[in-house]
Amino acid sequence: MSPVLHGPEEDNRHRGAGGEVHQEIQEIQHRRDQVIGGQAVIEGVMFRSARSLVVAVRTPGGEISVRGERIRPLRHRFPPLRKPFLRGIAVLIESIHLGTKALIASAEEASGGEAKGGSGSIALALLMSALLGVGLFIALPAFLAGKLAQGGWTFNLLDGLIRLAIFLAYIAFISTMPDIRRVFQYHGAEHKSINAYEAGDELTEERVMGYSTLHPRCGTSFILTVLVLSILIFSLAGRPESMAVRIGSRLALIPVVAGLSYEIIGFASKHRGNKLVDLAVAPGLLLQRLTTREPSRDQVRVALAALKELLSMEGER
């Protein structure tokens, strides 16, 4: 992904005072046949569509570095992965792969290419984080539930509640860190931009700032759905006596939980406005108040640079 630096002149171009790029983007804005996803990265935002991925990062020099590349989703290469349930597993794998790639790229850009140890150390840090996640959110709840509960249903219910409590405590704790708060602000900028795009509104800082930092298709809502659904799915494994089997069974069932959760989130996104659906997604939106913060205009500008570059790439035929 070759970087493109956007200084003041390029920022004005992206804000669309006129010209071919602005017209092209305005035309694309009114097509709602594609779903755009994204995530906050270090000092920036990543957006992706079915065919393209863009990462925009604010550099130490104050410029906006935008990197874009073409991607080919697994479901396009392997048609069976377009089927319900299987597509959720494919999206999970892609999200982990592309999200990790975007994080590494953003860390390098945000540090001016001087990230300690380079991409190798960043990848190692992400691996260690994954292992910590398994220990904290799978092994620890299973261990504690095994000590406190005997029956299968009681064990799985307690296991799920402990996991949920640890997750909420973890989010509340890291949200006190200044660096994480900035990431949460970029998360809010990502949501504001997507909400404006999906509403068919102008993609200007002034318009986008007025939108909500919450979105029903957010990964936070997905995680909460996974945590709740896992209580039911993990019950299929009963109460394994061996700690290794407890952990292994949960890891093995993650694709099942992820696939079902993806379908639930997709259904909820398509039926926004339905009272029952809105009630069901309310806890996820409430949780997003922990994982998003109100962004600055400068952060929204970065998110818009990424989104507009993605829309421009999608306009190429």
- Sites in the chain below the pLDDT cut of 70: 1-34, 113-120, 122, 316-317
pLDDT score at 118: 56
- For residue 35, the model assigns a pLDDT of 81
pLDDT number for residue 17: 42
DSSP letter at 85?
T
pLDDT tens digits, 183-231? 999 999 999 999 999 999 999 999 999 999 999 889 898 999 999 999 8
Element (H, E) at 96: helix 86-110
CA contacts within 13 A on the Cβ side of 38: 28
3-state class of 45 per DSSP? strand
DSSP 181-217: HHHHHHHHHHHHHHHHHHTT----HHHHTTS-S--TT
Tell me what pLDDT residue 151 has: 74
Residues shown for the chain: 317
Question: Residue 113: its pLDDT value, please?
Answer: 65
- Return contacts of 87-93, CB within 8 angstroms, 24+ apart: 87/259, 87/262, 88/258, 88/259, 88/260, 88/261, 88/262, 88/263, 89/255, 89/258, 89/259, 89/262, 91/262, 92/255, 92/258, 92/259, 92/262
Distance between CA atoms of residues 272 and 274, nearest Å: 6
Break the chain into its structural domains and give their ranges: 3-314
> E strands along the chain, which residues?
3-6, 37-41, 44-48, 52-58, 64-70
Q: Is the pTM of this model over 0.75?
A: yes
Predicted local distance difference test score (pLDDT) of residue 34: 66
